[in-house]
Amino acid sequence: MTTSDYERRFSRNIGVISEDEQARLRASKVAVAGLGGLGGLTFMNLVRMGINRFAVADIDNFDIANSNRQIGATQSSYGQTKVGVMAAMARDVNPDLEIQEFRQGVQPDAVDTLIESADVVVDSLDFFCLTARRTLYAACERHHKTVILSAPLGFSATLHAFVPGQMSTAAYFGWRDGQDKFEQMLRFTLGMAPAGLHFKYLRFDKEKLASRGTGPSIASACHLGSAMLANEVLVALLKRRPLFAAPWFSQFDPYTGVYVRRKLRFGNAGPLQRLKLAVARREFADVREQLLKVIK
């Protein structure tokens, strides 16, 4: 019996995972929404783990400002679509990959196709892509899909999983009908990192945040978040243990040397989170109108 190219490519995975588990990864499909700093690295980690089928979505092209953290951003890729560049990079690792490409990003008329045949969905959308994110989450709930996400914050990264039948994204973040995008964004921001490990050293420039719709992000945190994300996707696919599903959250900050995994029992509806939200509303009240213009 000859050894296949697939077996040779991923033979070093064996021992960490079994041969049967590797075969299951080969048959699995993952949808990745967003191929930037966190998403591109997560996608490549999953490719190198031996997952053979993907659906990937991103509306953007690479540019020079992506160079500090995005694996696909190179001198030769500026101006090219992130989906095209990353798909080519992935096929250079494994030419047998099946990749559905969604170059218009997460859109209401295509989101069901993006996620309906996926075993797990990865949310690595840009932080300010609120409409696309909520569109993605609504589709995952319709199709009973697990969605896993991370955020690189300072030198740290977070981890969340939303699992069908457990706490929903709307319940965790406290999203309600009638909330404007500023309120929804505050709730998403505070729900992503209740421990706030990065607040000890990270300084936000409110004016830059509001005028450009971008925050500080560094490569090491993107690598950290992508590793945490890819590992949890593997756990979900192989069912090695229950996921740390919401209301559980994790944050690891190697700069401060602190790792936190806690249950935010009531999501943002808890008393401490409500207090944080009140403080955040006051803190960002002077740039509220500007932020409303950059939240997508």
- Taking only the tens place, the pLDDT of each residue in 54-109 is 999 999 999 999 999 999 999 999 999 999 999 999 999 999 999 999 999 999 99
- pLDDT mean across residues, the chain: 95
pLDDT tens digits along 140-150: 999 999 999 99
Dihedral class, residue 34 (left if φ above 0, else alpha if ψ from -120 to 50, else beta): left
pLDDT of 1 above 60: no
Neighbours of 65 (CB within 10 A): 12
Residue 58: inside a domain: yes
Residue 131: inside a domain: yes
Rounded Cα distance between 161 and 185, Å, is 19
- Dihedral pair phi/psi, residue 176, rounded to 5°: -135, 155
pLDDT tens digits along 21-34: 999 999 999 999 99
Rounded Cα distance between 113 and 100, Å, is 10
% of the chain at pLDDT higher than 90: 91
pLDDT of 178 above 70: yes
pTM for this one? 0.96
User: Where is average pLDDT lowest: 70-74, 225-229, 286-290?
Assistant: 286-290
- Confidence at residue 205, expressed as pLDDT on a 0 to 100 scale: 75
Residue 28: inside a domain: yes
pLDDT of 2 above 70: no
Contact in structure between 295 and 215 (CB atoms under 8 Å): no
C-alpha distances out from residue 222 to 32, 68, 167, 187, Å: 15, 10, 26, 22
pLDDT of 163 above 80: yes
pLDDT of 211 above 90: no
User: Where is average pLDDT lowest: 21-35, 81-95, 116-130, 211-225?
Assistant: 211-225
Contact in structure between 156 and 197 (CB atoms under 8 Å): yes
Residue 91: inside a domain: yes
- Dihedral pair phi/psi, residue 199, rounded to 5°: -65, -15
pLDDT of 210 above 60: yes
pLDDT of 198 above 80: yes
Residue 121: inside a domain: yes
Using alpha carbons, select from 22, 21, 67, 17 the residue that is nearest to residue 40. Answer: 67
C-alpha distances out from residue 11 to 25, 48, 175, 228, Å: 13, 11, 45, 22
pLDDT-based confidence at residue 207 (cuts at 50, 70, 90): confident
Residue 296: inside a domain: no
Residue 210: inside a domain: no
Query: For residue 257, which amino acid is it?
Result: G
Rounded Cα distance between 112 and 196, Å, is 34
- Confidence at residue 136, expressed as pLDDT on a 0 to 100 scale: 98
Tell me the CATH number at 78: 3.40.50.720
Which domain range does residue 40 map to? 5-177+216-265
% of the chain at pLDDT higher than 70: 99
pLDDT of 213 above 90: no
Number of domains the chain contains: 1
Residue 236: inside a domain: yes
- Confidence at residue 100, expressed as pLDDT on a 0 to 100 scale: 98
